[in-house]
Each structure stands twice: as C-alpha cells, then as structure tokens.
C-alpha cells in the first residue's frame, strides 16, 4: 500500500500560483483535525503515481484545491478499487474520488455535489474519422463495426443491453486495460473504441502516440462526485466540501483544472504495454491479455 502525503503549505503554494485571484473562505479555521484519507488507483489523467511517487492527476488536483479551501490536508492512498470501497464502508478511508452515484453506494457513503461531468464516447483513429460515422447505437450492428472495450468500466445502458448480441455477432473485442484497447485500434484489430471522453484521448496521445477522434454520438453522460464514508461520521465535512465546490466553481477554478489536464503533456509517466496475447473468453468475446494501466470503475 502506498501513502502519498501532500503537505498543506506545499499544496497552498501551488494552488495560489495557479489561481492567484481566488479568495479563500477558510483561512484560519481548520475543519480537519487529521488529514483526509483518500483511496485511489491508477487511472490517467484522473489519478496515478508519478515518477517521484506523488499522487497526480485531474481528480487529485480537484480534491487538493477543495481541501486547501477548507484548510485541510489530504493523504492519497493507492489501492485496488474493490479494496477502497470496502475500506470506505468500514470507515478506514474517509473519501473516494471520481464516483458516479448508485443506490448501493449510497448505503455506505455520502455523495458530494458534482464537481465535474463525465461523457462516454466512441472513438476512431484520426485517419478514419471521415470514413466511419455513428449517429445511433444501432449503427454498430447495421455497419458491422467491431467495437473495442476495456473490460473494467461503465459504458452506458445501450452497451449493457446489447453486449451479448455484440458478442454473438463477433463485434466485440474486450481487453483488460485502456492502453491495450488503444493499441488494438491502432493495429486495426477493431473499428471503434468506447470509453471516457477525457481519459481515452489522453492515453492514446501520451502512451501510444496515437491520434484518435470522437464520433458524434454521446453514448452516456454522468455527474461525478466525491464519496464520503458514513462510518467515519463526516456529515459536517460533506457540507463544507459542497460549499467549497460551489465557491470554486463560481470562481472558475475547477474549470481551469479540467482545462489544464486537457493541455498538459506528461507522456513519461505512462508506460505502454509491450505484449498482446489474444484469447477467447468464456462469454464468447475476444479477450486480450498483457500488461498495462487499468481503468477505474465508475
């Protein structure tokens, strides 16, 4: 288990440099007696560990900004997704980032206000952008297009409902990582790639040096929240975080974080997969095994 502690002074120095005109509402009163313990996993560009063993990414910046507004420190703790949710349930963790609301999760966690939006899109390589068009989900079947999908992720109701039929018609190729799915698209092993609208272009450009283009269809869209453990008795923290999200949104600070990560170039922090081994899964879909970065379950 890897612990990455961001000291308050360092965080504030960075944030004041990025947002010099922002007025802070929590300058003298500290809400948190101890650092907020936040679980996360590798999912560029939202969160991962850089070469200096620091937590970095869009969501990391978002939460660091919000915590600094409250006068709090944050301990970012890297761990698998399932373990993070279990620890949140029992109160061993205070928060998780990058979460979509579900009724099941609401049983053990409070949900903050939405701090960013998520879109699920279909992508093609840039050279195929004029050749492949999809205006509705059924076009995948009508045009017999092969869909590439990382195994770990939520891709909307249309994908869920039609997954079995995609498999039956040999139109679905599943791989365990986003990196490998991007590689498959580049190698012509599929026609279209499904995934997060920010993460996929980032991984394609900075890990594989592949230019990809989104198609017109928005497959799914979600509001993204912080999850706060109910066992940790942080209902007062929820209220303060919600207020900080509103304040920072009104000042445009959260939008500037998103813009920063759309432009930043940190290619050396991502290591592409070098080995691709196709196989047939038990469900009939083609599966790809190898090594690479896993995507985060929303």
Residue 72, φ and ψ in degrees, nearest 5:
-110, 155
Q: At residue 277, what are phi and psi to the nearest 5 degrees? A: -125, 105
pLDDT digits (tens, 9 = 90+) for 121-168: 999 999 999 999 999 999 999 999 999 999 878 899 999 999 999 999
**First CA to last CA across the chain, in angstroms?**
22
Residue 232 to residue 186: CA distance in whole angstroms: 46
Q: What is the pLDDT of residues 114-125, one digit of tens each?
A: 999 999 999 999
The pLDDT of residue 126: 92
Average pLDDT, the chain: 82
pLDDT at 298: 55
Distance CA 162, CA 151 (A): 15
- CB-side exposure of 43: number of CA atoms within 13 Å? 25
pLDDT, residue 278, reads 42
For residues 263, 61, 89, 75, the Cα torsion angle rounded to the nearest 10 degrees is 140
Question: Which residues are CB-neighbours of 153 under 8 A, at least 6 positions away?
Answer: 195, 196, 295, 296, 297, 298
Stretches in the chain below the pLDDT threshold 70: 1-31, 233-234, 264-298
Write a three-state SS string for 23-37. Answer: CCCCCCCCCCCCCEE
Q: Six-digit token pair at 62?
A: 């978002």
Query: Which domains, from first to last, does the chain contain?
Result: 2-116+224-267 (3.40.190.10), 118-221+270-290 (3.40.190.10)
Q: Model pTM?
A: 0.73
Extract the tokens encoding 86: 């279990």
- What is the structure's pLDDT at 17? 46
């Amino acid at each position: 288990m890897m612990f990455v502690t961001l000291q308050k002074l360092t965080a504030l120095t960075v944030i004041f440099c990025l947002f010099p005109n922002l007025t802070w509402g929590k300058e003298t009163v500290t809400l948190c007696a101890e650092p907020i313990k936040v679980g996360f996993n590798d999912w560029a560009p939202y969160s991962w560990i850089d070469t200096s063993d620091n937590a970095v990414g869009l969501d990391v910046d978002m939460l660091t900004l919000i915590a600094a507004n409250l006068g709090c420190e944050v301990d970012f703790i890297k761990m698998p997704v399932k373990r993070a949710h279990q620890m949140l349930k029992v109160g061993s963790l205070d928060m998780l980032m990058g979460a979509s609301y579900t009724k099941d999760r609401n049983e053990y966690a409070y949900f903050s206000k939405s701090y960013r939006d998520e879109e699920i899109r279909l992508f093609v390589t840039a050279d195929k952008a004029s050749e492949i068009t999809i205006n509705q989900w059924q076009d995948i079947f009508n045009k017999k297009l092969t869909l590439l999908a990382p195994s770990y992720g939520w891709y909307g109701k249309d994908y869920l409902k039609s997954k079995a039929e995609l498999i039956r018609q040999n139109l679905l190729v599943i791989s365990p990582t986003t990196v490998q799915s991007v590689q498959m698209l580049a190698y012509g092993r599929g026609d279209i790639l499904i995934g997060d609208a920010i993460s996929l272009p980032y991984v394609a450009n900075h890990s594989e040096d592949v230019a990809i283009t989104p198609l017109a269809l928005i497959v799914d869209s979600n509001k993204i929240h912080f999850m706060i453990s109910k066992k940790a008795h942080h209902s007062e923290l929820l209220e303060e975080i919600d207020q900080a999200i509103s304040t920072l949104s009104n000042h445009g600070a959260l939008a500037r974080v998103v813009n920063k990560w759309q432009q930043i170039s940190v290619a050396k922090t991502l290591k592409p997969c070098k080995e691709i081994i196709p196989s047939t899964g038990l469900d009939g879909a083609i599966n790809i095994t190898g090594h690479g970065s896993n995507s985060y379950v929303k």
